[in-house]
Amino acid sequence: MDVNEYQKICQDPQHGGRLGSVVLPLLKAHFQTSKKAKPTVIWIETTGCSGNSVSLWNSIGPDLAQILEWLIDIRYWNFLMSAQDDTAIDILHRTALQQQNRFILVVEGAIALNEEFTVVHRQEGRAVSGADIVRELGELARHVLAVGTCAAFGGPSAARPNPSRSVGVGDFLGRKVVNASGCPAHPDWIIGTLVHLLLFGEPELEEFNRPLLFYGETVHRRCTRRSFFDRGIFAQNIGDTECMFLLGCKGPVTRADCPVRQWNDYVSWPVKANTPCIGCTNPGFPDAMEPFFEPLPREQTDAKTEPRSGLWRTLASTLTKRRRADGVKD
């Protein structure tokens, strides 16, 4: 499989979004044939709710056991591992040094600049923060993948008044970070981006460093209710089956492939369940997407929300202002 074939699989809705069930058997065969060791992954959770870990654990095609058996050698993941205390931390540091510039660092959760808000462990009586760990590992990793909107942009962890002064991983590290945003991120967005990093290196990214494979078009453009919007037929109440633009749907300003990939084993997604998109993949979420149930200005629809449009520049400007207010240097 070459990169073009892989990208076609990622974006083909005929697979029903079942990326893992198509790609992972090929990866299993690749590692068995080449005799290469599975790539090493270190997964660090800082601020956050473990929602992205839960999302990946809920993956069905493949399930988590298949991911761990066929795809990656996960050395540290507090959500899953049995090792504790110094034993776990020794494994973490030893792996990072032995696999320097070869391992992939996955970060879940924002980075709290007020470091007492996130303590990962204690060493010789000193609290070691999430910021400390991510700073150390970020200098040693081959790739850094920020999973979820908190890790990518700050997300709910950075919502006002943001007492922890939380920021996204890329802003904190000052190095290239690939973002797989979402609250939580879809399992396929995580697996698909990880596989691309493993086999082909960094995927083509949009201006917020998210893979175009999954974040290349707006929800509005691919929405199954788009025809209602074009005809001016709008839902009046939550639960109605028409276009939910007047009920605050943020699909016109949100890039993700939810309409074709769907969730919960690829059977549904918010609009199909008769509730508006709240823009959870976006920079500035949740603050910039509120109020959730009030409509966007009509001019902020499809023609105005494609990459590099005025609206996206405004979102980027808003994110920059928030970074500066939180003390992050550009």
Task: Show pLDDT as tens, one digit a residue, over the chain (330 residues).
Answer: 788 888 888 887 565 456 666 777 777 777 777 777 788 999 999 998 999 999 998 887 667 787 787 778 899 998 888 777 888 899 999 999 999 999 999 999 999 999 888 988 888 888 899 999 999 999 999 999 999 999 999 999 999 999 999 999 999 999 999 999 999 999 989 988 998 998 889 999 999 999 999 999 999 999 999 999 999 999 999 999 999 999 999 999 999 999 999 998 888 999 999 999 999 999 999 999 999 999 987 655 654 444 444 444 544 554 455 555 555 554
Helix residue spans in 74-210 (DSSP H): 85-98, 130-138, 149-153, 169-173, 187-199
End position of a domain, from candidates 187, 215, 243: 215
Helix residue spans in 155-235 (DSSP H): 169-173, 187-199, 212-215, 219-222, 226-230
Query: Are both 121 and 256 inside the same structural domain?
Result: no
Query: Are both 235 and 186 inside the same structural domain?
Result: no
Look up the CATH number of the domain holding residue 198: 3.40.50.700
Of 307, 217, 318, the C-alpha closest to 260 is: 217
End position of a domain, from candidates 186, 215, 244: 215
CA–CA gap between residue 118 and residue 112 (Å, rounded):
7
Say what the pLDDT of residue 306 is.
Answer: 46
Query: Are both 144 and 233 inside the same structural domain?
Result: no
The domain total for the chain is 2
**Cα 199 from chain centre:** 19
Query: Are both 190 and 229 inside the same structural domain?
Result: no
| Beta-bridge mates of residue 327 | none
Phi, psi of 288 (to 5 degrees): -70, -15
Look up the CATH number of the domain holding residue 309: 4.10.480.10
CA–CA gap between residue 291 and residue 61 (Å, rounded):
35
Say what the pLDDT of residue 299 is.
Answer: 57
Query: Are both 29 and 129 inside the same structural domain?
Result: yes
31 inside domain: yes
330 inside domain: no
Q: What separation in angstroms does the CA of 12 have from each of 17, 22, 197, 259, 282?
A: 7, 11, 20, 12, 23
CA–CA gap between residue 290 and residue 253 (Å, rounded):
13
Say what the pLDDT of residue 307 is.
Answer: 42
Query: Are both 159 and 54 inside the same structural domain?
Result: yes
Query: Are both 185 and 238 inside the same structural domain?
Result: no
Which three-class secondary structure state does DSSP give residue 190?
helix
Say what the pLDDT of residue 320 is.
Answer: 55
End position of a domain, from candidates 196, 215, 234: 215
Say what the pLDDT of residue 321 is.
Answer: 56
Query: Are both 69 and 198 inside the same structural domain?
Result: yes
Spatial contact of 316 and 207, defined as CB atoms under 8 Å apart: yes
9 inside domain: yes
21 inside domain: yes
143 inside domain: yes
Helix, strand, coil percentages, rounded to 5, for the chain: 45, 15, 45
126 inside domain: yes
Say what the pLDDT of residue 312 is.
Answer: 46
Backbone dihedral region of 11: left (phi > 0), alpha (psi from -120 to 50 degrees) or beta? alpha
Query: Are both 35 and 123 inside the same structural domain?
Result: yes
Q: Is-above-0.75 flag for pTM?
A: yes
Query: Are both 146 and 173 inside the same structural domain?
Result: yes
Query: Are both 52 and 164 inside the same structural domain?
Result: yes
Query: Are both 233 and 196 inside the same structural domain?
Result: no
50 inside domain: yes
Could you list the residue range(s) of the whole structural domain that residue 14 is in? 3-215
